[in-house]
């Protein structure tokens, strides 16, 4: 039996299971990749919002990463919620030591409930420390606006923001997600920018409030596919279809914005017999 490919997530928790490392590990599993996780923050949250955030001491994160990297290197890694500059610099050191390992960054700044997960200083540090190392960054439109300083109202603005990520910040690839766009009520279009190409991925837009954890899930699927050796284009294409189905078949859990269905794609492809 061949050893499985390994994906590592470095992020915060979600005890309701819809976002953070919980969503990442489910997504890795659904893509046939073995998941590992290092925790940055313990977050008390549910579908109604974020109640408390307890950021871990950076030394605790370092101990987790030492344990992982001393035993088995991941084939790809992603970061989600990162609490502090020391944590970012620590993660930067591991990425720099292993530049051959693809790195996906989900620049988490706001929860779906609207609760802030990062202050202004944290946003600046993310831009200068980690985004330049990204194989793929996956900001939604509000996050892309925060990072680039632009106001994004149309496709031309999306292109301007994408080029800032690639040509000024230094990310190898960036997906600016169109879920927050208001110009198309029927479809959602994501834009993938690389140094040489721009790709558009469009899927139907579903009328549901249950979108908790979409950003985590989308970036986790990209990470899993890169771990399997897929190209950036292939990884994003799979992630777009995966998240569309996850939203279409949401399990409608909770009293607020419920989670997406991390196993909808798996069942559709016949990978789950149940």
Which residues are designated catalytic?
177, 211, 213-216
DSSP letter string, the chain:
-PPPPEEEEEE---TTSSSHHHHHHHHHHHTT-EEEEEESEEEEEETTEEEEEEEPPHHHHHHHHHHHHHH---SEEEE-----HHHHHHHHHHHHH-TTS-EEE----B-TTS-B-S-HHHHHHIIIIIGGG-SEE--BHHHHHHHH-----SHHHHHHHHHIIIIII--SEEEEB-TT--S-SSEEEEEEEESS-EEEEEEE----S--BTHHHHHHHHHHHHHHTT--HHHHHHHHHHHHHHHHHT----SSSSPBP-TTHHHHHTT----
Query: What torsion, rounded to 10 degrees, do the Cα atoms 125, 52, 176, 28 define?
Result: 110
The neighbouring-strand residues paired with 188 are 203
Instruction: Give burial (CB, 10 Å; 0-12/13-18/19+) of 1.
Output: exposed
CA neighbor of 179 nearest in space, from 264, 257, 267, 79: 257
């Amino acid at each position: 039996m061949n050893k499985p490919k390994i994906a590592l997530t470095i992020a915060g928790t979600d005890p309701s299971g819809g976002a953070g490392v919980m969503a990442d590990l489910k997504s890795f599993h659904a893509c046939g990749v073995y998941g590992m996780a290092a925790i940055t923050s313990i977050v008390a949250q549910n579908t109604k919002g974020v109640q408390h955030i307890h950021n871990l001491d950076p030394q605790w994160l370092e101990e987790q990463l030492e344990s992982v990297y001393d035993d088995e290197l991941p084939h790809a890694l992603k970061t989600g919620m990162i609490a502090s500059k020391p944590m970012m610099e620590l993660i930067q050191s591991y990425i720099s030591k292993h530049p051959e390992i693809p790195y996906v960054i989900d620049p988490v700044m706001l929860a779906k409930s609207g609760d802030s997960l990062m202050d202004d200083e944290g946003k600046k540090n993310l831009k200068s420390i980690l985004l330049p190392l990204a194989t793929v960054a996956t900001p939604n439109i509000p996050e892309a606006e925060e990072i680039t300083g632009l106001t994004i109202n149309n496709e031309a603005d999306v292109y301007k923001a994408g080029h800032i990520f690639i040509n000024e910040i230094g990310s190898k690839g960036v997906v600016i997600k169109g879920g927050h766009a208001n110009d198309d009520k029927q479809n959602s279009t994501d834009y993938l920018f690389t140094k040489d190409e721009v790709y558009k991925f469009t899927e139907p837009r579903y009328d549901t409030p249950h979108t908790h954890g979409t950003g985590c899930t989308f970036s986790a699927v990209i990470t899993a596919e890169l771990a399997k050796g897929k190209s950036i284009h292939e990884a994003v294409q799979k992630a777009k279809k995966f998240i569309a189905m996850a939203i279409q078949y949401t399990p409608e859990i909770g009293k607020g914005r419920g989670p997406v269905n991390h196993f909808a794609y798996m069942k559709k492809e016949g990978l789950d017999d149940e």
